[in-house]
Chains A and B, each alone.
Chain A
Amino acid sequence: MPEESIIEVRDLTIGYGDRVVMEDLNFSVKKGEIFVICGGSGCGKSTLLKHLFGLYSPMKGDIIFKGKSLVSASEEEKNLMLRDMGVMFQGGALFGSDTLLENVMLPMQEYTDFSPELLERSARFKLALFNLTGFEHFLPSEISGGMKKRAALSRAMALDPEVLFFDEPSAGLDPRSSSTLDATILELNRSLGTTIVIVTHELESIFAVAQRVLFLDVDKKTMTALAPPEELKADRSNENVWNFFNRQPF
């Protein structure tokens, strides 16, 4: 397993206004690994993810991305860091008034000086990677949920980022689409070496893709476990973690 850290979270406290959602978070994501953040509903998984790519500012602590602080970075520095990150949001978050091709071309237009021809070629290639050839000129409202996720993934991959963040990738997908997406995530990680951070509570997906899992405990408002999923499933020492991984009812 690769050892070099690409993201380091130090003594992080996150929340909204005065309300603390999670505190004392300390962990690192290693370069090239598939890292899953899980926990019960409402524990702050998505909030933590949005802090990791700089969308929200933490109440306390720091997030180090490739050796530089994301929290204290200037707008310019932050934009440079964002260039190395791709995000796939839960509902896809594709721009409804733009076609799939335009959606994928958007980040390229912002960060590259490509000619219009090269932009389009590149965007078409990214869509083709996720089996969306022929749908380039469709609007997001004209395609299925699974296709929306794939198009969102194409857009997240537009700049070939070093880290891909996924917020509940399997949400709303049928089992086969969900399994296909898991396979795609594994493929991206294996062939391109992309570091992948996923927020999910789908156990099947966790066991299919995760190399390490961070468990957020909603009761204790902090992380209570960080290990490979098989270890967490077998570990009876942490009751909440064991209950979660063994699907025990409340």
Chain B
Amino acid sequence: MSSGSCAITREKTPEGLLLRLQGTMDLGNAEALLAELTAFIKSGEKLSLDLGEITYIDGQGVALLIELKARCAARKSGFEIVRQSEVAKKMMGLINLEPLVEPLPSYRRQPGFFEQIGSATLDIVKDLKEIVRFVGDCSIMIWEAIFAPSKIRWRAVFTTLESTGVEALPIVCLIQFMIGVILTVLGKSVLGMYGATAFIPDLVAIALAQELGPLITAIVMAGRSGAAYAAEIGTMQVSEEIDALRSMGFEPGHFLVLPKMIAAGIAMPCLLIFGNIVALIGSVIMCLLTTDVTLPAFVREVYKAVSFHMFTEGLVKAFFFAVLIAGISCMRGMQVRGGAESVGRCTTSAVVSGIFITIMTDALFTILFHPPF
């Protein structure tokens, strides 16, 4: 619909300046026309526009007139439209333009550096409060469940156990296999320099049992199951299923979160055991292929290196990581408000929070199990 240009003729009047516009005011020339017209604004002088010869005007043409009027008001000069063509009358008569002349709202202003820091800090404090409250709620739920296990939705636990545990097994094993290979190659390059390749099994076994095993499994769980939990609960929030649960007298935490936490708490230590076995298989294959470590020697070294305490430490870590990942992912799901965009945002946040809380808890456990002082 856009057409040609707009010619401006100026005429001095006793009150100010009369501008006659002739042609079109549309998307094609609105910006240039606004700049041209703004140049005529002088403080205290009235700007009169004659739109009698306007042959076409669209939404952008009207917007430029509103902006021009606002600029006149800002410079304390008058503004009026003295004549309008039929097309201009039709377009401008669609709505009351007066309220639109108000200064644009302040949301256009970008917050300053310190404002952004302050706002981010407040968000973090709010988030931490929610996490603390959620952890409290979950602790009460778990405590109650211990004394009334029959009230737990065991069917939901087993269904989640299948998706969180059994279905995650291939990817966990594959990743752990590669971790085993990587550790062995690394071990060979470092320990080989000192002629200590015989200790590669010790290195791999200790690293897997204490640190890397639980950590890698937790990261896979946060990315896989954590995201799934958040998306599932978030979608339920959007489709009012959570409201429906509440309206039937169900506590969503007990109904949705607890089975997931229990399932994750059972699945993760099992995944860890399987994953570590597969990682050791990866390591032993690499050892046999690239070093002079034999299979019996490998088994003997692993058996010697990993104590029961180490093994238990890994399992305890895995259990807590899983419960925390499940809990925080469900919390992120519950925080969904609005639509699909919010589900996506909360799912991303669930994965990030899950990984963060895993590493933070790992640091705490490491200090607890191996006091540095």
Interface residues of chain A: helix, strand, loop or mixed (majority): loop
Interface 1/0 per residue, B219-249 and A, CB below 8 Å: 0000000000000000110011101101111
CA distance A94 to B236 in the complex (A): 9
Q: Give the docked Cα–Cα distance between A83 and B250 (Å).
A: 11
Q: Which among A82, A96, A97 is the interface contact of B248 at CB below 8 angstroms?
A: A82
Shortest CB–CB separation between residue B241 and chain A, in angstroms? Answer: 5
Q: Which chain A residues numbered 44 to 68 have a C-beta less than 8 Å away from chain B?
A: 50, 53-55
Does B239 contact A110, Cβ atoms closer than 8 Å?
no
B243 engages A111 (CB within 8 Å): no
Looking at the complex, which of A84-92, A125-133, A186-194, A203-211 is the stretch in contact with chain B?
A84-92
How many residue pairs at the A-B interface have CB separations less than 8 Å? 44
- Chain B residue nearest in CB terms to A79: B249
Q: How far is the CB of A149 from chain B (nearest CB, A)?
A: 13
Please tell me if the beta carbons of A91 and B249 are within 8 angstroms of each other in the complex: no
Report the Cα distance A179→B243, complex, angstroms.
26
Interface centre among B235, B236, B246 (most CB of A within 10 A): B246
Q: Which residues of A contact B235 (CB under 8 A)?
A: 96
Contact partners of B249 in chain A: CB under 8 A:
78-79, 82-83, 107, 110-111
Given contacts A89-B240, A91-B239, A93-B239, contact A53 B247 (CB under 8 A): yes
- The answer to whether A96 and B247 touch across the interface, beta carbons within 8 angstroms, is no
| Distance in angstroms between the alpha carbons of A232 and B202 in the assembled complex | 85
Q: With A and B bound together, what is the CA distance between A107 and B247 in angstroms?
A: 10
Query: How extensive is the interface on chain B, given as a class?
Result: 10 to 19
Please state if A107 and B248 are interface contacts (CB–CB under 8 Å): yes
Interface residues of A, count at CB 8 A: 22
Say which residue of A93, A97, A106 sits within 8 Å of B240 (CB atoms): A93
Q: How far is the CA of A97 from the CA of B244 in the complex (A)?
A: 14
Chain B residues within 8 Å of A135, by CB = none
Within 8 A of B (CB), among A67-115: 78-79, 82-83, 85, 87, 89-91, 93-97, 106-107, 110-111
In the complex, chain B residues whose CB is within 8 Å of the CB of A89: 240, 243-244
In the complex, which of the residues B239, B241, B247 contacts A82, with contact meaning CB atoms closer than 8 Å? Answer: B247
19 further A-B pairs in the complex, CB-CB below 8 A; given A82-B248, A90-B240, A107-B248: A54-B247, A55-B243, A55-B247, A83-B249, A85-B247, A87-B244, A87-B248, A89-B243, A91-B239, A93-B240, A93-B244, A94-B241, A94-B244, A95-B241, A96-B235, A96-B236, A97-B159, A110-B249, A111-B249
Which B residues fall within an 8 A CB radius of A?
Answer: 159, 235-236, 239-241, 243-244, 246-250
A residues near B, CB below 8 A? 50, 53-55, 78-79, 82-83, 85, 87, 89-91, 93-97, 106-107, 110-111
